[in-house]
Amino acid sequence: MDRRASQVSIEDIEITLGQVAEIQAARVVVSSEGLIEEIHVLALPNKSPKQLVRDIESTLMASFGIAIDHKKVSIAQLGGDVVGPTGTEAVKSEFRVRILSINAHVSGVHSTVTVSLDIDGETCLGEAFGPASQTGRVRLVALATLDAINKHISDARCFGLEDVAIIPLGRQRVAVSCVTMVSTNGEESFSGSALVHQNDKDSIVKATLDAINRRLGHFLTVT
C-alpha cells in the first residue's frame, strides 16, 4: 500500500508518531497533492537518529500503509545544541552549526537582534532591526539567524522568513519557523521546529535552522 496522507487525518498520524516511546512531539507537512513532504520530530536522546527514523518508517507503514522516504524525516533530540540532518544525509554532510550567542537590544520602540553562529568552524554574525513589539522581537531572532546563513552561502540563493511563532503543543511550548528559499530555479518553502525550555530566543534559532538543515549541508559545500 502507498496511501496518501490526505486519506487519513494528519492529526492521527502525529498522534500515532507521538506514541513511539522516544518521541515527544511530531509535526507532519504535506503537499497540495496530499503527499508527506516533511516530518519534524522532537525526541528523547535514548536512541540514535537513524534508529528513530526506522521506527517512524515502520510505524507509518504498519498503522497507515504509508511509505516515507527517510530523507523527509528531521529529528531534533532534546538536550542537544547542534542542528543537523538525520539518516544517511548525516553521513554525507559533516557540517556543524552551533549557536554562539544571541543578543537583543531595545531602544525606544525599536529592537536590534544579533545572532552569532559557528558554521563548520567559521563564525558568522547575523543582524536584524525592527519594531520592539512582542511579535516583532520573535521575528527579529529568526531574521538575524537567516542573515547569518545568507552571509555564508552563495549569492545564487537566499533564505527569507515567511513566519515564526511559539505555540503550545500538549504540555510543551514549541518554536515553529517557516522559511522560503529563493534561487534561480524559483521558490521552495520549508518548516522547522524546536522545543522551548527556558530560552525562547534559543529555540527560535534552532527552529529556523531546523527548517533548512537538510539543504544547508549541500549549500555550504558549494564553492
Looking at residue 78, its pLDDT comes to: 67
What does the H/E/C string look like for 13-78? Answer: HHHHHHCCCCEEEEEEEECCCCCEEEEEEEECCCCCHHHHHHHHHHHHHHHHCCCCCHHHEEEEEC
Q: How far is CA 139 from CA 30, 87, 111, 208, in A?
A: 24, 30, 11, 10
The domain containing residue 114 runs over which residues? 96-221
Same domain, 39 and 105: no
Residue 89 forms part of a structural domain = no
Same domain, 174 and 144: yes
From CA 85, how far away is CA 95, in angstroms rounded? 9
Q: Which residues of the chain have pLDDT under 70?
A: 1-7, 78-96, 154-156, 214-223
Domain end residue (candidates: 49, 80, 111):
80
Residue 87 forms part of a structural domain = no
Residue 18 forms part of a structural domain = yes
Looking at residue 5, its pLDDT comes to: 58
Same domain, 54 and 100: no
Looking at residue 141, its pLDDT comes to: 96
Residue 91 forms part of a structural domain = no
- Count how many domains the chain has: 2
From CA 125, how far away is CA 198, in angstroms rounded? 23
Residue 56 forms part of a structural domain = yes
Domain end residue (candidates: 80, 105, 136):
80
Domain end residue (candidates: 80, 106, 135):
80
CATH code of the domain containing 18 = 3.30.300.30
